[in-house]
Amino acid sequence: QKEVEQNSGPLSVPEGAIASLNCTYSDRGSQSFFWYRQYSGKSPELIMFIYSNGDKEDGRFTAQLNKASQYVSLLIRDSQPSDSATYLCAVRAGGGSNYKLTFGKGTLLTVNP
């Protein structure tokens, strides 16, 4: 059973702080890693994806991947109240029929003004 684990939160940070969201996965064959943001009542929105070990930065967001530790994280710098949402980590094994995404349960982030 392929699993993706996230701390459900809620994670509460003050406006302007760095929010750190973590995710671990069980399948060592996983090749692609995605972070989605989901506002209440809305569908997920892709924030970032990462395939290689290390950091990937896009604006205020940085994804970090460590395949040896089976760990992927998302850092949000200068957090804004509009960042308050549930953040979903998704992992794809890749190859053959395994292109589907396995989602974690999500971490609820609250950014306080």
Partner 1 sequence: GAVVSQHPSRVICKSGTSVKIECRSLDFQATTMFWYRQFPKKSLMLMATSNEGSKATYEQGVEKDKFLINHASLTLSTLTVTSAHPEDSSFYICSASEQMNTEAFFGQGTRLTVV
Query: Which residues of the chain form contacts with partner 1 (CB under 8 A)?
Result: 31-32, 34, 36, 41-46, 49, 88, 92, 94, 97, 99-101, 103-106
Q: Among candidates 56, 53, 5, 54, which has minimal Cα distance to 27?
A: 5
- Burial of residue 31, with CB atoms counted within 10 A of its CB: 0-12 exposed, 13-18 middle, 19 or more buried: middle
Q: In this structure, are residues 22 and 71 in contact, taking their beta carbons and an 8 Å threshold?
A: yes
Nearer CB in complex with partner 1: 74/104: 104
Kindly state the smallest distance separating residue 81's Cβ from partner 1, in Å. 21
Amino acid at 32: S
Kindly state the smallest distance separating residue 17's Cβ from partner 1, in Å. 25
Kindly state the smallest distance separating residue 90's Cβ from partner 1, in Å. 8
Nearer CB in complex with partner 1: 79/104: 104
